[in-house]
Amino acid sequence: MQKEGLLGGVYPIVAAMLVYSILAYGNVDGYLGGAAILLTSVVAYFLTMYVYYGIARLAYQGYTHLLLGGAVAAVIVSLFMSGLSAIWAPLAGWVMLLLAGAATGRLTHGGYLQGQVYVIGAAVVAILFTLQSIPIWNKFLQTAPRLGEAFAQQVQLFLVGLGYSAEMIQGDLEQSRKVFDVLVRLFPAATILGALLQFSIGYLAFVLWVGRKDPSRRCYVPIILWKVPFGFAPVLIVAILVRFVGGEPLRMIADNALTVLAVYYCVAGLALIEYYLKKLHVSRLTKVLFYLLLFLTQLVGFFAVALVGFVDSFFDWRKVKAPEIL
C-alpha cells in the first residue's frame, strides 16, 4: 500500500498530538473560568480518541520518523506545560497513548487477528492507566469520607426543606450513604472504563479507516458478532474467588475488576441479543420497546445481559468462528 501525501491527513495528526498536550497537561485553571475549563476537559477527552486513531494510523502506514518526532515534541510540550515537578502524569499518559496506538497500527499491518489486537491494546491502556492513576485514587479515597459527610448534610437539609419526618430522613440518609460508598469503592473501575472507552472508539475509527483504505483487509468485525474471548473466564473466576476469600484491599481490587469485566460481558450480551433480533426480523419499533424495557430494569437487566454474554463465551450460540475475530 502506497503512502498518501503528508497533507492528506498525517500532519493534522501530529498537530492534534501537540494540541492534546496543551489541553490535557496545561495548567489552565488560573487562566480560564469554570465553563471554559469544563469545555477544555471535554475537548481533551474526545481528542484522546482521535490521538489513538492517529497514532495507530501513522504506525500502520510506516511513518515511523514522523511518529517519533511528533511524540518527542508532544512529550516536551506536555512537560513544559505541567512543570518538571509533575512529570509522572504526562510521561505515563504519553507512554500509554503511544504504546497502545502504535501496537494497534503495527499489529494490524502485520496481519494479526483483530480480537488479539484489541485485547493487547486494551491491556496496555488498562495497566498503564492504572499505574498512572494510583496516586489520584489514593487521594480520592482519603478525602471520600469528608465528601460523604458533606454530601449527607446537603441531602439532609434538602429533605428537611421538603418537610420529611426525622424517620424518613434517617432512612434516606442511610440509603444515600450506601450508594455513595459503592460509588467510591468502584471509582477506579469507572475511570478505567472511561480510558478504555477512549481507546475503543479510537480503535474502531482506525479499523474502519483501514477497511476503506485497503478493502482487501477485513479488520472491522460487525457489532452483532462481538464476544468476549473464552480466555477471560479464568480471570473472572479468580476475581470472584478473591472477592469472597481475600482481605479488604484484595476484595476492593476484585470488585473493580469484576465491574470492568461485567461491562464487557454486558456489551457481548447486547451483541448476542441484537444478533437474534435481526435474525428473527424483529421490527424497529419492537426493538426500541425491548431496549427501553431492558433499560428500565436497571441493574437487574444489566446483570442479566452480562450473564448472557458470559455464558455465550462458553457455548458460542452464534457459532462465530473464533479465528475470524480473535
pLDDT value of position 2: 45
How far apart CA 12 and CA 54 sit, in angstroms, is: 9
DSSP 136: H
How many CB atoms are located within 10 Å of the residue 54 CB?
28
pLDDT-wise least confident of 4-18, 23-37, 310-324: 23-37
104 pLDDT above the threshold of 90: yes
pLDDT higher at 323 or 278: 278
Tell me the pLDDT tens digit for each residue of 25-78: 876 655 555 567 778 888 989 999 999 999 999 999 999 999 999 999 999 998
pLDDT value of position 324: 46
323 pLDDT above the threshold of 60: no
At 8, is the pLDDT very low, low, confident or very high (cuts 50, 70, 90)?
low
How far apart CA 302 and CA 267 sit, in angstroms, is: 10
Tell me the pLDDT tens digit for each residue of 252-268: 999 999 999 999 999 99
Tell me the pLDDT tens digit for each residue of 112-151: 888 889 999 999 999 999 998 988 898 888 888 888 778 7
215 pLDDT above the threshold of 90: no
Longest dimension (CA), the chain: 74
Helices (H), 162-229: 166-185, 187-213
How far apart CA 1 and CA 8 sit, in angstroms, is: 15
- Whole-model pTM: value is 0.87
How far apart CA 248 and CA 262 sit, in angstroms, is: 21
